[in-house]
Amino acid sequence: MKFPRELLALDIRVLRLVAGALSAVILLVGWGQILRPAWQSRQAVLTQTAGIREAIASLPDQQAQADALATEATRLETTLDAADTAPARLPGVLDNLARSQGVELLPVFPGQQNESDGLVETRYDLDASGSYPQLVGWLAAIESRLPNAGLQEIRFTRQVSSGSVNLRLRLAVYRRPATRQP
C-alpha cells in the first residue's frame, strides 16, 4: 500500500494532468483503432450513395442520348445504300455536280475495290480543271451530296499560262457488299 500513499502525496494538479493525459491517450487509441475506420467506412458509403443517385438521375439523359445515336446510326446506315453512289451511277452524278459548278471533269472510271469490316471501298482517281472557287464548290457539293464518300487525296496545280487550276482527286466511296444469290 505504499504506492497509493505516494500518489496521495502528489499535488492534485499533477494527478489531474496525469488523468487528463491518460484519458487523451485512451481516446486517441480508441479513435485510431475503432472510430476512425468506422467513420471512413461511413464516408465511403455516403460517397458511393451520392454517385449512385447521380447515375440514376442521369439515366433519362443517357437514354435520350442513346436514342439519338441510334437514330443517327440508322440514318448513316441508309447512306451506305444510297443509289447515287452505285458504281454505275456515280460517274454521272460527279459529272452533273461538276457541270453545275463550271468544272471540267475528265471521264470517271471505278478503280481499286477493297472489302473489309463489312464494307466495300471503291476508289476513283479523278482529274478536273477550273478556277479555284469552282473546284472548291465542286468538292463541297461532292461532300454534301455523297455522304458515304471520302476525299482521300487532293492536289491542286495552278496553270500559269491559262490561269486555271488542275485538280487531282482520289475519292473513296463506301458501300455495303452486294448480296449474293445462291
With cell 487531282, the residue in question is 168
The enclosing H or E element of 115 equals strand 113-116
Q: In the 8-state DSSP scheme, what is residue 83?
A: G
SS3 172: strand
**Res 118: pLDDT:** 79
What is the arithmetic mean of pLDDT over 123-132?
92
The C-alpha R_g of the chain, in whole angstroms, comes to 39
C-alpha cell at 21: 493525459
Q: How far apart are CA 67 and CA 69, in angstroms?
A: 5
Q: How far apart are CA 29 and CA 22, in angstroms?
A: 11
Lowest mean pLDDT among 5-19, 30-44, 55-69: 5-19
Q: How far apart are CA 105 and CA 73, in angstroms?
A: 33
User: Does position 179 have pLDDT exceeding 70, yes or no?
Assistant: no
User: Does position 82 have pLDDT exceeding 70, yes or no?
Assistant: no
CA 114 to chain centre: 26
Mean pLDDT of the residues in the chain: 83
Q: How far apart are CA 1 and CA 166, in angstroms?
A: 114
Instruction: Judge contact between 123 and 152, C-beta under 8 A.
Output: yes
With cell 472489302, the residue in question is 115
User: Does position 100 have pLDDT exceeding 90, yes or no?
Assistant: yes
Does pTM top 0.95 for this prediction?
no
**Res 181: pLDDT:** 45
